[in-house]
Structure 1
Amino acid sequence: MNTINTHYRLSHKIQDEAFSPSQASQCNLYIALSQKAIRIAVANTERNKFVVLEDYELITIFSPMQIGEQLRLIAQENPLLQEQNWNLVRVSVSNQHFTLVPETLYDPAHLQDYLRLHSDINPVQDEVLYYRHNGLEAINIFAIDKGLHQALQDLFPEQPLQIVHVTSSLIRSILHQTPRTNLRSMYAFVERNYVTLLVIGPGGLEFCNIFNYVSPEDFIYYIIFIMQEQKMNPEQETLTVWGDITHDSSLFNILQKYIRQIKLGKKPSDIEYSYKFHDLFEHRYFELYSLHLCE
């Protein structure tokens, strides 16, 4: 008997009429996991086009283990998560347990040691994984809850399954579409209660971290603080923003008070999107689309 309660609701669903589960072997399945949402997308690799998007809002979820439980519940009713013939399944996890290590210093025998310098991880509860950024010559070392990791492995026992940290997909995507100039720029990816800040300079990535905010005042504090730390001027810099933020939100309003130039980012341009995606805000679901650019 299943005693786990349902704490999710499907808030958005898009499916191109041309897509059929029988095409799974020609498609990649992408899943973005956070404490507030489980998001799923399908990209047809032969057509290089996104054809499905599903957004499940998580309600009263307080732990990664609960995310895994809700993922299992969704899978009971979701044909995409039941399909076992995908070309590739790639998953991103969003948490603050990550660190970027230069490849020259990387020793796979010390994964947990690297991460312990930055995060309070529990070897009993956390699985430590890594993702290699070839262009950066850096390794992203991160933790995922073992229960959540097991849920993913149970869902896709026969599939090629790749798990990355959300920062890796953001870094890959932003570096890919940012023209190299002599200027330094800041980028923000907004989730409910978390904001990821990146600074890109002439040499590439210069800063990346995730901050937990409770109020709009917390939110703007971290942005201004990092700008000052990075010797950037809020009166002169352009901040590009993606994620769960709207023009009429309190977060956007406080950004306008302190940052002179704010630009809502666009979705990755190296892949096409079904016409059904055209009604979505360009800056939404960036973390999900960006999984297509990982390797």
Structure 2
Amino acid sequence: MNTIHTHFRLSYKIYDEAFALSQAAQCHLYLSLSQKAIRFAVVDTARNKFVVLEDYELITVFTPLQVAEQLRLIAQENALLQVQNWKLVRVAVSNQQFTLVPETLYDPVHQFDYLRLHADLNPLQHEVYTYRHSGLEAINIFAVESGVRLALQGVFENQPLQLVHQTSALIRSILHVVPRNNLRSMYAFVERSYLTLLVVGPAGLEFCNVFHYTSPEDFIYYILFVMEEQKMNPEQETITLWGDITHDSSLFNILQKYVRQIKLGKKPEDVEYSYKFHDMFDHRYFELYSLHLCE
């Protein structure tokens, strides 16, 4: 009996008519996987330009294994995911199972132990990966569900595949776009049910964590809590936002009540975008764009 059901819908699609699947060998394919969405984008590396973006909303999906199941189903009907000669496939995984360790203290033999201090891990269900932040002299250690990795391997069986944690893509991109000065600032990436907060100061990254929220009250609590812990004043600080948030949303409205200065972030500027991207809010899909700045 077939118990696999479709729990996704295509909510947004951009496809530059100048792009053809025959160009895949000169293109990078970027994916972001979360419990709420599977998104992917294509960059033509010869022109350094984003030419495709697709956003699949996941409905009544509650576990990483269900995300893996939906990825397989999307791949069955999506021509982009059936191509087997991309120049590179890079995947960002969104979860709370990560930690940043100074490079001088890192021993690869103990990477599972480092992560186990910060996350609930099962050796039979999780695989541990790392990403080196050369500019920070730090290692991002993160977990990926074995079922998700197997689904990716099944879809891209003959592809060069790189897994990164979503925080690494955000860190790379934000540190790249933030001007170096003597100010400390907060940056937020908003997903449905998850909030990534970063604090950047004169010396670089000072704080990074991912919080799960279920209401606007949770959302603002975590922002104010981190500001207090980091000795930042909501009346004076500016918070810059990217992600799934709009001016008329309940999250934005409650944020305005407590934080005086709010900015919506821009797309990374070291890459071009097809004219079809110009009608989109600049602060959306930052996690996909940021994958282009990873190494």
Report whether the alignment pairs 1:61 with 2:61. Answer: yes
CA distance in 1, matches of 2:189, 2:280: 17
1:24-35 matched pairs, under 5 angstroms: 24-35=24-35
| 1:229 alignment counterpart | 229
In the TM superposition, what is the alpha-carbon distance from 1:155 to its structure 2 partner? 1.0
Could you report, residue by residue, the CA deviation over 1:85-131 in whole angstroms, capped at 9, with x for unpaired residues?
10000000000000000000111111110001100111111111111
1:76-87 matched pairs, under 5 angstroms: 76-87=76-87
Report whether the alignment pairs 1:131 with 2:131. Answer: yes
1:1-295 matched pairs, under 5 angstroms: 2-295=2-295
What amino acid does structure 2 have at the position aligned with 1:104? T
In the TM superposition, what is the alpha-carbon distance from 1:3 to its structure 2 partner? 3.0
Structure 2 stretches lacking a partner, 5+ long: none
Tell me the C-alpha RMSD between the 2 structures: 0.7
What amino acid does structure 2 have at the position aligned with 1:113? D
CA distance in 2, matches of 1:60, 1:21: 32
- With over 3 angstroms needed to count, the CA separation of the structure-2 counterparts of 1:157 and 1:138, relative to structure 1, is same
CA distance in 2, matches of 1:17, 1:72: 26
In the TM superposition, what is the alpha-carbon distance from 1:2 to its structure 2 partner? 4.6
CA distance in 1, matches of 2:84, 2:156: 6
CA distance in 2, matches of 1:65, 1:148: 6
Q: How many residues align?
A: 295
Using the TM superposition, name which of 149-158 and 19-28 deviates more: 149-158
What amino acid does structure 1 have at the position aligned with 2:232? M
Per the normalisation by structure 2, the TM-score is 0.99
Is the partner of 2:76 in helix, strand or coil?
helix
What amino acid does structure 2 have at the position aligned with 1:230? Q
Structure 1 runs (4+) greater than 3 angstroms displaced:
none
Per the normalisation by structure 1, the TM-score is 0.99
What amino acid does structure 1 have at the position aligned with 2:76? Q
CA distance in 1, matches of 2:148, 2:116: 20
In the TM superposition, what is the alpha-carbon distance from 1:156 to its structure 2 partner? 1.0
Q: What is the aligned-residue identity percentage?
A: 77
CA distance in 1, matches of 2:57, 2:156: 22
Could you report, residue by residue, the CA deviation over 1:232-290 in whole angstroms, capped at 9, with x for unpaired residues?
00000000000000000000000000000000000111101000001111000000110
In the TM superposition, what is the alpha-carbon distance from 1:229 to its structure 2 partner? 0.4
Structure 1 stretches lacking a partner, 5+ long: none
In the TM superposition, what is the alpha-carbon distance from 1:292 to its structure 2 partner? 0.3
Is the partner of 2:65 in helix, strand or coil?
helix
CA distance in 2, matches of 1:225, 1:74: 39
Is the partner of 2:287 in helix, strand or coil?
helix
